[in-house]
């Protein structure tokens, strides 16, 4: 038996998976859709959020079960999933990245994002004066984050977005040789304005033997194309 843990991206929460969650329940699949510290319903103060806290919040879920773990990670969540998988390599069955970051050792989230020369993400980001957090510009989120989504889903997502601590973005990841041996799958989102398809192709190509799938969606396939996304996730083996 295996357990799926879904890891959301920046400025978001476990709520992004609510459509997927319904399908998981109806198919009697063991899963968890946690809010990372400071996201969703978690009340960790913004000033206390670190990459380590993100990672330990996922490890705590893993340590509550004896099952093998499948990590499903979106966007920034891929960075977190990679660190978790390296530390818990004996417990990880595979990582499924969705329009996501796959780091190399010692890289940072900020450094990786700078590789994407055609992303519109910076265009839609509002940084605090002290550069300690960033928010998404709601007037631009339709185009950058939620393109291809319904009006209902866009409004739902906008209401839920939160401030994103920047400390995890400038913290280097520490990966060992164990990370290379973990099976990796990458679901490309072909119409993505946050992480361009060119960037996605580049980021997974840095590792050998990454098996890829693709979905015609923007950066939020869990809204716009959730049935196909669920089908791809569950049938990856």
The percent of residues in the chain predicted with pLDDT above 70, rounded, is 100
- pLDDT at residue 1 above 90? no
Residue 106 is classified by DSSP as: T
CB 44 within 8 A of CB 37: yes
pLDDT for the residue 237: 80
H helix or E strand, kind and range, residue 186: strand 184-189
Half-sphere exposure of 226 (CA within 13 A, CB side): 16
Query: Does 25 score more than 90 pLDDT?
Result: yes
- In the chain, the percentage of residues whose pLDDT exceeds 90 is 98
User: What's this model's pTM, rounded to 2 decimal places?
Assistant: 0.97
Contact 96, 233 (CB under 8 A): yes
DSSP letters of 77-104? HHHHHHHHHHHTTTTEEEEEEEEE--PP
- The residues spanned by each domain of the chain are 2-235
The answer to whether 84 touches 54, Cβ cutoff 8 Å, is: no
| Cβ contact 74:7 at 8 Å | yes
DSSP 3-state of 190: coil
Buried-state track 64-73, b at ≥16 Cβ within 10 A, e below 16: eeeeebbbbb
3-state secondary structure of 75: strand
Would you state the pLDDT for residue 144?
A: 95
Please, what CATH class does the domain formed by 2-235 belong to?
A: alpha beta
Residues 142-187: tens digit of each pLDDT: 999 999 999 999 999 999 999 999 999 999 999 999 999 999 999 9
Mean pLDDT of 26-51: 97
pLDDT tens digits, one per residue of 118-142: 999 989 999 999 999 999 999 999 9
**pLDDT attached to residue 107:** 98
């Amino acid at each position: 038996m295996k357990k799926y843990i879904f890891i959301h991206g920046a400025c978001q929460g476990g709520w992004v998976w609510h459509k997927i969650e319904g399908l998981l329940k109806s198919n009697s699949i063991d899963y968890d859709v946690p809010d990372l510290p400071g996201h969703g319903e978690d009340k960790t103060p913004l000033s206390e959020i670190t990459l380590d806290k993100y990672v330990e919040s996922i490890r705590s879920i893993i340590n509550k079960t004896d099952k093998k773990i499948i990590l499903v990670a979106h966007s920034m969540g891929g960075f977190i999933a990679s660190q978790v998988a390296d530390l818990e390599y004996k417990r990880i069955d595979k990582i499924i990245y969705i329009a996501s970051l796959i780091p190399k050792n010692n890289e940072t989230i900020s450094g990786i994002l700078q590789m994407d020369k055609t992303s519109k993400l910076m265009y839609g980001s509002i940084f605090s004066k002290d550069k300690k957090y960033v928010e998404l510009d709601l007037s631009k989120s339709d185009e950058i984050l939620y393109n291809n989504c319904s009006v209902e889903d866009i409004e739902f997502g906008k209401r839920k977005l939160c401030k994103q601590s920047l400390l995890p973005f400038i913290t280097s990841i520490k990966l060992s040789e164990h990370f290379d041996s973990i099976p990796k799958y990458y679901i490309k989102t072909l119409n993505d304005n946050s992480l361009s398809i060119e960037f996605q192709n580049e980021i997974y190509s840095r590792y050998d033997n990454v098996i890829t799938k693709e979905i015609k969606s923007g950066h939020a396939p869990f809204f716009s194309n959730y049935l196909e996304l669920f089908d791809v996730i569950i049938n990856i083996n």
